[in-house]
């Protein structure tokens, strides 16, 4: 398979918590019913109104310059604006690049290492359960993405189904349109009902500008989709995988969009 070249990407400084709505456990936390008097967010909201700092359990994700998740990275707190009892001093990313940590509202700065070597540092600002931002990334040799934040009940840590890598990789550049897209996940994806593959593809994977997807297949933790219909002009394509893609255990995929550029003559 022809190796795809890469171009630098812009650091992700402005982040949101939108992905959390696709996880059923976290969705119940972020959209409590009126009768849930003891749910997590109403209590935190009252603290936020009071202006006093408070502790919050949250998860985030680290991806490298190719959009692949970074596992076994150690995050160590180096400073924080508010120090409360029961806060975590460190966390380690799992196979999906996710870390789970208990912090205080305000700012927290982390030093990140991988294989005992310095990787990068970043500062996280938590204003409220729905306002979590990375305000600084530094000391990184390559662009990194720190994103996909949301809070959770510390007694009910949610499970995730993540796309960990892809081919083409995010922000890559090629002069030959890939004949297939490869997607790699943290666990085996559930396969669609036989005979409904085309419908399933149209509902769960979209490409802009449009390309023709066909011949869906699965291999352990990966999914392969044949593709054709490239333009002969230089074009940047965006591939979006939606939450309708489930793991074999029924966990919705955290939605993910990757993009790649196919330079002319591309489809010829």
Closest-CA residue to 118 (of 148, 80, 144, 149): 144
Q: Which residues of 161-187 are buried (b: 16+ CB within 10 A; e: fewer)?
A: bbbbbbbbbbbbebeebbeebbbbbbb
Strand residue runs (E) in the chain: 5-6, 55-63, 73-80, 90-92, 98-104, 106-114, 117-128, 131-138, 145-151, 163-167, 172-174, 180-185, 205-208, 212-219, 222-228, 235-241, 256-262
71 Cβ partners below 8 Å, 6+ apart? 93, 94, 95, 96, 97, 164
**pLDDT at position 11 over 90:** no
Q: Which of 21-30, 140-149, 175-184 has the lowest mean pLDDT?
A: 21-30
Pairing of strands 256-262, 235-241: antiparallel
| pLDDT of amino acid 267 | 77
Residues 35-71: tens digit of each pLDDT: 343 455 655 655 555 579 999 999 999 999 999 999 9
Intervals of CATH 2.60.40.1220 along the chain? 163-262
In angstroms, rounded to a whole number, what is the distance separating the alpha carbons of residues 268 and 260? 17
44 Cβ partners below 8 Å, 6+ apart? 54, 56, 128, 129, 151
| pLDDT of amino acid 46 | 56
In angstroms, rounded to a whole number, what is the distance separating the alpha carbons of residues 4 and 176? 9
In angstroms, rounded to a whole number, what is the distance separating the alpha carbons of residues 6 and 17? 28
| CATH, domain range 163-262 | 2.60.40.1220
Closest-CA residue to 40 (of 23, 52, 58, 22): 58
| pLDDT of amino acid 8 | 40
Residues 168-183: tens digit of each pLDDT: 999 999 999 999 999 9
**pLDDT at position 20 over 80:** no
Residues 62-110: tens digit of each pLDDT: 999 999 999 999 999 999 999 999 999 999 999 999 999 999 999 999 9
Residues 158-171: tens digit of each pLDDT: 999 999 999 999 99
Residues 192-231: tens digit of each pLDDT: 999 999 999 999 999 999 999 999 999 999 999 999 999 9
Closest-CA residue to 100 (of 38, 191, 23): 23
| pLDDT of amino acid 22 | 42
């Amino acid at each position: 398979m022809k190796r795809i070249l890469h171009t630098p990407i812009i650091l992700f400084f402005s982040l949101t918590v939108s992905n959390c709505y696709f996880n059923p456990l976290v969705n119940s936390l972020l959209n409590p019913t009126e009768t849930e008097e003891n749910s997590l967010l109403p209590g935190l909201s009252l603290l936020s109104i009071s202006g006093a700092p408070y502790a919050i359990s949250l998860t985030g994700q680290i991806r490298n310059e190719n959009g692949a998740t970074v596992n076994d990275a150690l995050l160590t707190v180096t400073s924080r604006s508010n120090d409360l009892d029961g806060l975590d001093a460190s966390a380690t990313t799992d196979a999906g690049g996710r870390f789970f940590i208990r912090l205080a509202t305000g700012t927290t700065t982390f030093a990140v290492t991988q294989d005992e070597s310095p990787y990068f540092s970043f500062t996280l600002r938590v204003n409220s359960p729905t306002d979590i931002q990375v305000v600084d990334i530094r000391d990184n040799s390559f662009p990194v993405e720190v994103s996909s934040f949301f809070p959770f009940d510390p007694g009910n840590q949610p499970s995730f189904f993540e796309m960990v890598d892809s081919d083409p990789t995010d922000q890559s550049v090629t002069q030959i349109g890939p004949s297939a897209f490869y997607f790699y996940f943290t666990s085996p994806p559930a396969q669609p009902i036989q005979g409904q593959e085309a419908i399933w593809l149209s509902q769960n994977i979209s490409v802009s500008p449009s390309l023709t997807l066909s011949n869906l297949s699965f291999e352990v933790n990966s999914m392969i989709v044949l593709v054709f219909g490239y333009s002969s002009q230089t074009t940047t394509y965006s591939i979006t995988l939606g939450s309708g893609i489930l793991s074999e255990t029924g966990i919705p995929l955290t939605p993910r969009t990757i993009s790649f550029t196919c330079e002319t003559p591309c489809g010829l």
